[in-house]
Amino acid sequence: MSNTLFITGATSGFGEACARRFAEAGWKLVLTGRREERLNALCAELSKQTEVHGLVLDVRDRKAMEEAIANLPPSFAKLRGLINNAGLALGVDPAPKCDLDDWDTMVDTNVKGLMYATRLLLPRLIAHGRGAGIVNLGSIAGNYPYPGSHIYGATKAFVKQFSLNLRCDLQGTGVRVSNIEPGLCESEFSLVRFAGDQERYNATYAGAEPIQPQDIAETIFWVMNAPAHININSLELMPVSQTWAGFAIERNKA
C-alpha cells in the first residue's frame, strides 16, 4: 500500500523540496499553497512520478482548511504523514517599529495554520497508527534570541513546545511527532522577510555556505522513514559557517 503525505506551503522552499523528495520515492501527495499558478505547475510536474492532489488555500483560513480536508478524494484520505511547513517571517525591525499587521500574519500562519492542519488531520493519522508521523518546521529562532526576531522567534518557540506536548497526547497511538529547527537556509523565505529586497537577501548569504531546501527535505525524509519504534523529537541544523552570536552588552558612552 502506498504512503500518502500532506504538505502545507508546498509552492516554494522546504515544502517544495519535500514534495519533490517524497514524490521521487513514490509517496502520494496532498499539497497546499496560496499561489495557484505555482501549485498547479508543481502538481502537473510531480504527477508524472506519483499521484498528487493540490489544494489552493491559505492555512490561516480555518473554514477553507476544514472544507478541503473533509472533502479529500478517497484515494488521498488515508494519511501516513503531515509536514507542517507553511510559515513566514516579516521584517527584522526592532519591536517598537514593527507593523502589527505583520505580527498578526506571523501568528496566524505559523501558529494557527499549524494548529488547524494538525487538529484536522489527527484522526486520519491516528487511524493509520504505527509509523505515521507529523513533522513540524520550527527554527533555531525558537531556541535562541536575536534582534528583530521577536514575534517570529516566539511563534517557533510555540512550535517547539506544541510538538513536545502533542507527543505526550499521542502516546499509545503510534503517531510520531518531530520538530525540525533549521538555521541559516537559502530560500525564498528570506526574500519574503526582506520585502523583496534582493540586495539584502544576497548579503545574508554572501561568503557563507547556507543550508539548502534539499538538505531539509532529505532530513525530513529520513525522519519520516525512521523505524516505527523510534521518534526523532527534534533536530537542530545549522550550516558549519554559522554559530552563536553571544550576549549583547550595552556600554556606557563616556
Catalytic residues: 152
Could you give the CA distance from residue 124 to residue 70 in angstroms, rounded to a whole number? Answer: 11
Q: What is the β-pairing status of strands 52-56 and 81-84?
A: unpaired
Element (H, E) at 156: helix 150-169
Using CA atoms, how far residue 115 sits from 108, 163, 166, in Å, is 10, 11, 11
Q: How far is CA 161 from the centre of its chain?
A: 15
Cβ contacts of residue 232 below 8 Å, gap of 6+?
A: 176, 178, 223, 226
Cell readout for 165 is 506536548
**Residue whose C-alpha cell is 534582534:** 147
| Spatial contact of 160 and 234, defined as CB atoms under 8 Å apart | yes
What number of residues does the chain have? 254
Cell readout for 96 is 517598537
